Chain A
Amino acid sequence: MPTYRFSVNGEQVAVDAPADTPLLWVLRDRLGITGPKYGCGVGVCKACTSHIDGAAVTPCTVPVSDCQGRKVTTIEGLADGDDLHPVQEAWLTEDVAQCGFCQPGQIMAAAALLKKTKSPTDAEIDAIENVCRCGTYCRIRDAIKRAAAAM
């Protein structure tokens, strides 16, 4: 069984698992990090969206072998202690969440987008494919714009 070493939310981890083990189950079942959520397992609904080296990925389709030596960030690692990330603050101000299940993934997708584009256009926000079954999209859009202005 190979061993893969990488960091998760700033902490070094060493994971013994078959190469093709999806990162989602390494995080949830082996490391007990339950922020990323299973929504489909095939990279289509994006509920598990997290970051590798700052870019948005879906851990359900990333084999653990791809993580060797890289920086994984989940929703739990976005805030700086009690100081929330501007995207998280905007989510509270706009009262975005309903059931909340997709929101960790939505927030990580938004944070990655704001790293790339300072003030994203409607088209760039529309390009976010994360499914929200409660339909909070309009407030997600408002919160992303609010966070962009605050950053």
Chain B
Amino acid sequence: MAGADGRIDPDKSGERKRGIGRRRFLTFAIAAPTLAVGGYVAYDATDAEALPSLPQPADLLDLGDVITLASRPTAWTMALRVETDGTVVFELPRAESGQGITTAVAMLVAEELDAKLSDVRVELADATPSLLWNQFTGGSTGMRTLWEPVRQIAAATRGRLVTAAAKRWGVEASALTTRDSTVVAADGRTLSFGALAVEAAATTAAPVTGLPKDAKNYKLVGTPTGRVDARDIVTGKAKYTMDVEVEGALATVVARPPTIRGTVVSVDDTAAKAIPGVVAVTRIDSGVAVSAKSFDIALKARDALKITWKDGPAVGLSDTNIRSKLRSAVAPLVVPGLLSSYIDAEFDFAFVPHAPMEVLNAVADVREDRAEVWFPCQSPIVAQNEIARVVGLPVDRVTVHVSRAGGSFGRRLFWDPALEAAAVSKKIGKPVRLMWTRQDDTKHGRMRPASHHKIRATHLLGDVQAFEHRMAAVETDLKHGFGEIVSASGAAVSGPADGLLFFHLSATCPYNFGVVTQVLSEVPVPVPTGSWRSVYSANLRTAEEIVVDELAAKLGRDPVKFRTQVLKSARVKAVLAKVAAEGQWGKAMPAGTAQGVGVHEEYRSATACLVEIDARDPKAPRVTRATIAVDVGLPVNPTGLKAQMMGGLMDAISTVLQAGVHIDDGRVREGSFGDFHYARQKHAPIKLDVFVMPPNGRPGGAGELGVPAAAAAVANAYARATRTRPRSFPINF
């Protein structure tokens, strides 16, 4: 933001590490961060009947605020280059895994620079330790952490381009305007940004305002804009990690144990090495790697290995044991007061793999004095440290290129394949392209932790007096830098393990239900876990919204009217009203079919979902229609936002109705999309409408927002269509 006198401080022209390439360009970085945190809480007068509930920690300071705080010190040191050929290059220290952040950021840059969107190229920055905590992707914090710095960097750059033009023409800078990547003089003369790049780079003080535009002047932000990389995708030109050409990189797969985290006892690789095209067989922590000229050869050689294994630590554990461990770990409920009656409900949710379409993979080229690794990663700086440790090199000798990801949903918060590739490349002294097969990804990849829930809603004379939610979950591995982020933000509190801290920075109940308590207890189980899109919220919200529906029924109230009366926030009431109207809540539905609703508020955003389900065959239900309303405070790219909500809906349909994995005696039973039943075309609703609410503030988060509300709506619709009370998810498992 501007200094006290409103002028942007002269910058320290930041030289990129690689020095100025043959093309002269303007690099711009402001280094004047100021601390501004939006911790606003919007409540309005509650109806007399509902017993108000106090704000919860996450209402005041949520995970997104913490991550924004942690990223601020280096938020303004991101680099924006205007090259002499007019290309505007922004090195984005984030991961792009389909959520659309590269498109949204390109829009912000083009808007504030008044450049053509087609001139803006957003590249994913290599791991850059100096960025500290401004290179983390997760918690739906993309837009929340980038909204201010990106606009200000672009606006300040525009100011310098205009100043350079004013000097060139000898006119007042304030008389100049900008449009379509050019500076325009009053008399119609124009100069392109590219032509001004060199002089602008030399400009220090910019007399012209470097402040971002007022929202009413937006020409691009807020208008539906197609993906900037869409054409590359539909023509097959988009490059993912396994498409990256690295000279001599050997196709590598790993023979993995039959049990989770089993270890190698002995290997006979004679038959494998006899196969033409096999170059090396290497023992690593997670199994035995085979490197060959191409993947068909590597796969054949892997199957020719004769390996004896030691059982993994989870052997002896199956779903039944894990569930009873979780059930006994659920904290006790308070004994309800005399005279009041209550609803008790108990729920359990299975493990769910992230199963991104692009399996885990990484390319690594480790030499004596340096290492280079290509892979998609949401926390590249922490990954860089871990890789440096494995290859025994100082961090600044390790280059981590962040490639685009074929989906993540949280899986790529970690760097498992990069460590393997680096270890193999170091041992065999050759570059490798290491790929997990789909079976590896499903049987050995990280998963959303199974969870068990007990809820008690106590009510008296139509008022809910207390709402107690006790949740136990297999421990979520958050050691991808989450702890460091919290401490870096200054919001660190001593005591609870990362999981509990994460929980209290995110979990809230949107209703005035008197005394509301949500408690998580974590149970360590030796199964690989990781945050899965919306982390605790999908299971937490599904369980709670089912109880809210059952409360409404018990109190003889319509589920939507009841919610409207007890909801705390005006934003949530508005999105619920929108879906009720657009989705024709309450219309007559044939037997075996029904409507269901769910709401969710998180990431400073709010959403509601209304689905219709045909469960005449309870074993093969189908969501036939979905109506979603979403309020993210300020939508940057409405069509990208709708895409995220559509994705959340399909995650919900999958995980509530049919998709999960079983644990049998320390093994994952499922092996691919053949038996892990993620939704397909035939499971998608015939009619889907997503309504984006008008702007009412600053951008909130959207990447995970859709899952919890949609999961609740699908569960509630299924319950009403089948007149049952679903308690175990997925329902058909």
The residues of A with any CB-CB pair to B shorter than 8 Å are 17, 21-22, 25-26, 28-30, 32, 34-42, 44-45, 47, 74-76, 78-79, 84, 88, 91-92, 95, 97-104, 107, 122, 125-141
Contacts and interface: CB of A to CB of B under 8 A. Distances in A.
Given A29-B294, A29-B295, A100-B238, 13 more contacts: A25-B294, A29-B296, A35-B236, A38-B359, A42-B672, A79-B235, A92-B230, A92-B234, A101-B240, A127-B681, A132-B357, A132-B650, A137-B683
Given A99-B405, A136-B643, A129 B680 contact: yes
Contacts of B385: none
A133 B224 contact: no
13 contacts: A34-B242, A39-B357, A39-B359, A42-B438, A91-B233, A92-B234, A99-B407, A101-B98, A129-B681, A132-B650, A134-B650, A135-B647, A135-B651
A107 B231 CA distance: 13
A100 B238 CA distance: 8
B406 A37 contact: yes
Q: Is the interface of A mostly helix, strand, loop or mixed?
A: loop
Nearest to A35: B236
Given A88-B234, A92-B226, A92-B231, A131 B357 contact: yes
B251 interface: yes
Interface stretch (B306-314, B489-497, B684-692): B684-692
Interface string B293-329: 1111001000000000000000000000000000000
Contacts, number: 182
B251 A29 contact: yes
A22 B230 contact: no
A45 B356 CA distance: 12
Interface in B101-138: none
B100 interface: yes
Contacts of B674: 40, 42, 44
A76 B234 contact: no
Q: Is the interface of B mostly helix, strand, loop or mixed?
A: loop
Contacts of A91: 230, 233-234
Given A39-B438, A99-B98, A133 B646 contact: no
A76 B640 CA distance: 26
Contacts of B647: 98, 134-136
A141 B242 CA distance: 29
Interface string B219-231: 0000010110111
A119 B356 CA distance: 31
A61 to B, nearest CB: 12
A136 B235 contact: no
B97 interface: yes
A34 B646 contact: no
B679 interface: yes
A140 to B, nearest CB: 7
A135 B680 contact: no
